[in-house]
């Protein structure tokens, strides 16, 4: 991700505010009840404890080396639910609160709404690509398999179905060899089908695919979409980077669509790479056994 600073600041600010409110409710429930005009110390303590847990989660999110935007998205959803619940509560039970209590509930709801919107904007910034018209998600996975062995598995573009259970078929059209101009067609278990054309290919290192997003039956919410794989040698093992850049459709939903894509990619492609690494290591060990056998 290019710029995670706005999102990190938003999450930390939200954490400080949530922790302050939580500590007040937990340590001074009677005082808080007097301000609100309602005496329910046990309920206020429970609410305060929940806010402290929420603050701890926000701090954990904001201080991670790799920011996970789908977690920031659910934090914003929690903020928006707080605002809605506060407004509904005032409509139904405002007569139970003092005038000061009503004002406090409205002020807190307004602050929480600001945090929720701030985080949504931060998510948008975090996923923006260098080309501001596109959004990006990138995943890097460390493996014990040598880079050359991992490339052998990744280069076989048409065999991706062997590592991704959600696919029922993957193939290179017209029996072309992997390289620029090769088109891979994939079909998943939901019978969704799409095509990807290789537009850049660096043997032993990386390739870039252009998704045929202009197709009328393209199954992903994007008007433009690119993706790529890159293998890097790290010690005796390797790192595999997978990335996507896309123009979401509709664009204003980018802060929602990108975290969902990120969640799905982080869940599925980590497993894909691990399967590739295990397969590569098994083939290497098998080759070593054969070499020993024929020596």
**Chain-centre distance for alpha carbon 81:** 21
Are 146 and 264 found together in one domain? yes
What average pLDDT does the segment 250-266 reach? Answer: 93
Are 58 and 151 found together in one domain? no
pLDDT of residue 1: 59
For the ranges 27-31, 159-163, 238-242, the lowest mean pLDDT is seen at 27-31
**Helices and strands, counts by H and E, the chain:** 7, 7
Residue 5 has pLDDT above 80, yes or no: yes
What average pLDDT does the segment 104-132 reach? Answer: 95
Q: How many domains does the chain have?
A: 2
Are 280 and 145 found together in one domain? yes
pLDDT of residue 285: 60
Choose between 288 and 73: higher pLDDT: 73
pLDDT of residue 295: 32
Predicted confidence band at 284 (pLDDT cuts at 50, 70, 90)? low
Query: CB-hemisphere CA count at 13 Å for 267?
Result: 9
Q: pLDDT digits over 79-95, tens only?
A: 999 999 999 989 988 88
pLDDT of residue 206: 96
Average pLDDT, the chain: 90
Sheet holding 183-188, edge to edge: 135-143, 237-248, 222-234, 206-211, 193-202, 183-188, 167-172
Q: Are 150 and 156 in contact (CB under 8 A)?
A: no
Predicted confidence band at 236 (pLDDT cuts at 50, 70, 90)? confident
**3-class secondary-structure state, position 180:** coil
Query: CB-hemisphere CA count at 13 Å for 61?
Result: 29
Are 42 and 93 found together in one domain? yes
How far is residue 56's CA from residue 27's CA, in Å, rounded to a whole number? 17
Are 111 and 217 found together in one domain? no
Are 192 and 72 found together in one domain? no
C-alpha closest to that of 5 among 125, 113, 136, 111: 125
Are 157 and 263 found together in one domain? yes
Which residue segment(s) compose the domain that 153 sits in?
A: 135-294
Q: Examine the fold and report which residue of 77, 100, 127 is the final residue of a domain before the chain moves on.
A: 127
Are 38 and 118 found together in one domain? yes
Q: Examine the fold and report which residue of 74, 103, 127 is the final residue of a domain before the chain moves on.
A: 127
**Chain-centre distance for alpha carbon 230:** 19
Residue linked to tokens 């998510």: 123
- Residue 71's contacts (CB-CB under 8 Å, 6 or more residues apart) are 57, 61
Are 62 and 158 found together in one domain? no
Residue 74 has pLDDT above 90, yes or no: yes
Are 12 and 149 found together in one domain? no
Residue 191 maps to which CATH number? Answer: 3.30.530.20
Q: Examine the fold and report which residue of 127, 151, 170 is the final residue of a domain before the chain moves on.
A: 127
Are 142 and 109 found together in one domain? no
Tokens read off for 140: 């890097």
Are 236 and 281 found together in one domain? yes
Is 275 exposed, middle or buried (CB count within 10 Å of its CB: 0-12, 13-18, 19+)?
middle
Predicted confidence band at 289 (pLDDT cuts at 50, 70, 90)? very low
How far is residue 230's CA from residue 202's CA, in Å, rounded to a whole number? 9
Q: Are 172 and 201 in contact (CB under 8 A)?
A: no
């Amino acid at each position: 991700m290019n710029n995670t600073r706005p999102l990190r600041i938003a999450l930390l600010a939200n954490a400080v505010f949530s922790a302050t409110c939580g500590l007040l409710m937990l340590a001074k429930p009677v005082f808080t009840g007097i301000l609100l005009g309602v005496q329910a110390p046990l309920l206020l303590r429970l609410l305060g404890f929940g806010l402290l847990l929420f603050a701890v989660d926000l701090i954990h999110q904001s201080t991670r080396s790799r920011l996970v935007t789908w977690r920031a998205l659910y934090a914003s959803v929690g903020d928006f639910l707080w605002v809605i619940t506060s407004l509904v509560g005032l409509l139904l039970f405002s007569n139970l609160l003092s005038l000061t209590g009503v004002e406090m509930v409205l002020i807190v709801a307004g602050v929480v709404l600001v945090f929720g919107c701030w985080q949504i904007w931060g998510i948008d910034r975090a996923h923006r690509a260098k080309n501001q018209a596109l959004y990006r998600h990138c995943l890097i996975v460390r493996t014990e398999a040598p880079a050359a062995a991992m490339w052998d598995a990744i280069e076989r573009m048409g065999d991706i179905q062997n590592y991704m259970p959600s696919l029922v078929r993957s193939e290179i059209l017209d029996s072309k060899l992997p390289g620029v101009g090769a088109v891979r067609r994939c079909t998943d278990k939901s019978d969704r089908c799409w095509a990807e054309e290789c537009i850049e290919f660096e043997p032993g290192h990386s390739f870039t695919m252009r998704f045929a997003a202009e197709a009328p039956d393209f199954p992903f919410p994007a008007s433009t979409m690119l993706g790529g794989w890159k293998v890097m040698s790290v010690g005796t093992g390797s790192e595999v980077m997978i990335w996507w850049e896309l123009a979401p459709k509709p664009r204003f939903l980018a802060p929602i669509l990108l975290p969902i894509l990120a969640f799905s990619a982080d869940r599925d492609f980590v497993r894909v790479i691990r399967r590739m690494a295990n397969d590569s290591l098994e083939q290497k060990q098998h080759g070593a056994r054969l070499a020993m056998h024929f020596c």
